[in-house]
Structure 1
Amino acid sequence: MGTYKSAKTLLYALQPQFSQVAFPGMTSQLFHELAKKHARKLPDVRPGYTVRVHETIREGEKDRVQIFEGLVISVHNGHTPTDASFTVRRIASGVGVEKVFPLLSPMIDRIEVKKVAKIRRAKLFFLRGRAGKAARLSERFTTSEEFGVAVAAPEVKTEEVAAAVEEVKAEK
């Protein structure tokens, strides 16, 4: 078959085989199972939010966290919840940089909402043609719930949990 980057691309490659199965909703069931398996709490990301995305970058053998801070200019929900993504834009050294993040990516450690702007559009692509003060958005009053920090729950192995439980029992 070959190597696939994710289970999703593998499912797309196998889709003709799934269509011959007697269960017509099999692929969507598999997508939902994958989504449940990798589910974690993330803040509600909307256009107009200024966010800091903490992304794990792998360089050779080392992993490091890179922070990308900018304005969310679009949110794409996709056909299934696993397809959701958002685009963040910032100005770096006088050049506009946009990065698309899949919402359920395991490479995203956390997303911090810094500011919330008052907007009337779902897509803020018009900001691409603006520079300096013309690209500013007016801030709106927000509640404390909107400023959320979502941290991806680290995977915990059952052996680690069992060892921790036994340590606590030994202390008592």
Structure 2
Amino acid sequence: MQVQNQSQPMDIGIGETDRNAIADGLSRLLADTYSLYLKTHNFHWNVTGPLFQTLHTMFETQYTELAVAVDDIAERIRSLGFPAPGTYSEYAELSSIPETPGVPKAEEMIALLVEGNEAVVRTARAAFPAAEKAGDESTADLLTERMRLHEKTAWMLRSLLQ
């Protein structure tokens, strides 16, 4: 990751090398979160079947929360002095969440969203050591909240499959 040109030196108590490592992990989290946002929004639009109303509403709640999360993660990267990735090609390179071609059945949508939420948890967990090593409580707090929320969302979705 490349640091932005700054006319003012940055001194937030975290060195550039550590900020770079943290921003790299956050960039992967941003890509996964955006990919999950897009998948969830797509499923919201295209879900059909007996659970339509339940899933349509649930997916809307989830993609709305993900939209806020995308902004929070990108702004944290910026606060660390780095540009946030913001193109589909960057997200495709950074994300661990594959695209889903076509329109799957409702039950498959649920399973794919469980997998996506679990992937985001793994990505956030992988980013945590760099934040912890640098004493970056702000990023650690963001990562902890993302893990908590995605673990809960995966549980709720998984419950629909039983």
Q: TM-score range by the shorter chain?
A: under 0.3
Which gives a bigger RCO, structure 1 or 2 (Cα 8 Å, sep 6+)?
Answer: 2
Larger Rg: 1
TM-score normalised according to structure 2 size: 0.25
Q: Identify the structure with the greater strand proportion.
A: 1
